[in-house]
């Protein structure tokens, strides 16, 4: 079977004893920690229009082995109410399973490990019927989906048979938010749109939204990528930016997921903590990276092809033609050594260009932006920078 080696290497323990339906084509994975309103999410999935394939929904209830007894008790109660809800479901084409509560080791307990355990279980399900094209869908326990959610994901992969994965359009829930809270989530969405679009403007080919509740991956892509990481936060960002190295990651815009805009201290960074700081006056979400830094980066990315087979002398001459922030960053971070290694391992320009962007990837771009805003630029008004971007993108 296609995932035997992955399952063995990762010592994946099978949690669902019932074999999957031979027509299983999608598995929705929902990590669940301390989530009293999980049934709202499950009901929104249950209300979806049915795709042609069979669907499973796996809720991975989890907590740290060092979690308080109160939260552990709540998670056991959550398991019971989910099981009671499942018994009332009459859909033959969509099956719901609750796993856990699973005790996660204190060192790794968090969003990444919980998502990994759920997705690994999905791989086991698809491996059982030898379906490497099975679609694993990442969702969160506080997120609602639209009725066409499953059908549009199925349609996307039917039309893009070779794609390894896809992100899904999102729009946060805003009912009941205070004016300040609503302003914060709207600014956050503006920032995400600005950052993704500005990356695209530079010529970076893998600009995408990275939201844990809004992406999908083929089973073969998940296995080839090496599975989900165990990061306590940002696991979605790291997973998707590495997934592009094994196949195309597209975007599904014909349906929308609706993540919660709730405040949170569960993770060290992300939407919840950022909004909390905004409400406390500790974070200014009205400012962002200066668009000039992206303009500088575009100058460098525009000459990527000339870096193939380049000598050190030629490279140094090219650096002298770059904007000062780019010149300094490349010099100070010793990029020549990475470029030299890259050239040694690329036999053609066609292989060099995509591998260049695997080297100068989203992580390095973020380092570049932080570097330039320490030495050359200051963060400035978000709305103004978004307007500047829109003018050059028309």
At 204 the pLDDT is 97
Domain boundary among 284, 307, 332: 284
pTM of the entire predicted model: 0.93
At 292 the pLDDT is 98
Q: Are residues 295 and 277 in the same domain?
A: no
Domain boundary among 239, 257, 284: 284
Q: Are residues 176 and 219 in the same domain?
A: yes
At 102 the pLDDT is 87
Domain boundary among 237, 255, 284: 284
Q: Are residues 249 and 347 in the same domain?
A: no
Q: Does residue 386 sit within a domain?
A: no
Retrieve residue 103's tokens: 């005790």
Q: Does residue 22 sit within a domain?
A: yes
At 212 the pLDDT is 82
Residue-range definition of the domain harbouring residue 344: 291-378
At 266 the pLDDT is 58
Q: Are residues 10 and 47 in the same domain?
A: yes
Q: Are residues 270 and 352 in the same domain?
A: no
At 377 the pLDDT is 97
Q: What one-character-per-residue DSSP string does 141-203 give? A: TT-EE-TTHHHHHHHHHHH-TT--EEEEEE----TT--HHHHHHHHHHHHHHHHHHHHHHHHT
Q: Are residues 313 and 367 in the same domain?
A: yes
At 268 the pLDDT is 56
- Tally of structural domains, the chain: 2
Q: Does residue 391 sit within a domain?
A: no
Q: Does residue 393 sit within a domain?
A: no
Strands 94-104 and 165-170: unpaired
CATH of the domain at 111: 3.90.550.10
Q: What is the mean pLDDT, run by run of 10 residues, along the chain of 394 residues?
A: 96 94 98 92 97 97 90 93 95 93 85 93 98 97 97 98 97 92 93 96 94 94 95 86 94 96 63 83 93 98 97 97 98 97 96 96 96 97 96 78
Q: Does residue 387 sit within a domain?
A: no
Q: Are residues 215 and 263 in the same domain?
A: yes
Q: Are residues 370 and 228 in the same domain?
A: no
* φ/ψ of residue 43, rounded to 5: -65, -35
């Amino acid at each position: 079977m296609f995932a035997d080696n992955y399952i063995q290497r990762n010592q994946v323990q099978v949690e669902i004893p019932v074999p999957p339906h031979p027509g299983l084509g999608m598995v929705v994975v929902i990590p669940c920690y301390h989530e009293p309103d999980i049934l709202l999410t499950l009901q929104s999935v249950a209300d979806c229009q049915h795709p042609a394939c069979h669907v499973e929904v796996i809720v991975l209830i989890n907590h740290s082995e060092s979690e308080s007894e109160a939260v552990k008790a709540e998670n056991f109660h959550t398991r019971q109410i989910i099981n009671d809800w499942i018994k009332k479901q009459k859909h033959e084409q969509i099956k719901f399973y609750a796993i856990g509560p699973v005790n996660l080791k204190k060192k790794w307990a968090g969003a990444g490990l919980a998502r990994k355990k759920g997705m690994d279980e999905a791989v086991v399900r698809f491996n059982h019927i030898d379906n490497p094209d099975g679609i694993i869908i990442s969702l969160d326990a506080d997120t609602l989906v639209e009725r066409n959610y499953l059908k549009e994901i199925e349609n996307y992969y039917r039309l893009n048979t070779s794609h390894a994965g896809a992100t899904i359009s999102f729009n946060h829930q805003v009912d009941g938010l205070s004016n300040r809270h609503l302003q914060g989530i709207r600014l956050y969405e503006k920032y995400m749109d600005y950052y993704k679009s500005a990356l695209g403007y530079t010529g970076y080919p893998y600009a995408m939204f990275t939201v844990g509740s809004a992406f999908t991956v083929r089973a073969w892509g998940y296995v080839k990528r090496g599975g989900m990481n165990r990061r306590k936060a940002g696991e979605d960002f790291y997973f998707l930016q590495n997934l592009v190295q094994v196949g195309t990651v597209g975007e599904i815009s014909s349906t929308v997921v609706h993540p919660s805009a709730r405040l949170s201290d569960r993770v060290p960074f992300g939407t919840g903590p950022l909004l909390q700081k905004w409400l406390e006056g500790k974070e200014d979400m009205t400012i962002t990276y200066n668009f000039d830094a992206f303009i500088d980066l575009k100058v460098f990315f525009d000459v990527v092809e000339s870096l193939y087979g380049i000598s050190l002398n030629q490279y140094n001459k090219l650096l002298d033609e770059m904007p000062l922030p780019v010149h300094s960053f490349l010099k100070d971070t010793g990029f020549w050594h990475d470029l030299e290694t890259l050239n040694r391992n690329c036999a053609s320009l066609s292989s060099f260009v995509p591998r260049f962007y695997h080297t100068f990837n989203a992580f390095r771009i973020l380092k570049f932006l932080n570097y330039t805003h320490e030495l050359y630029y200051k963060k400035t008004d978000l709305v103004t920078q978004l307007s500047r971007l829109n003018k050059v993108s028309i």
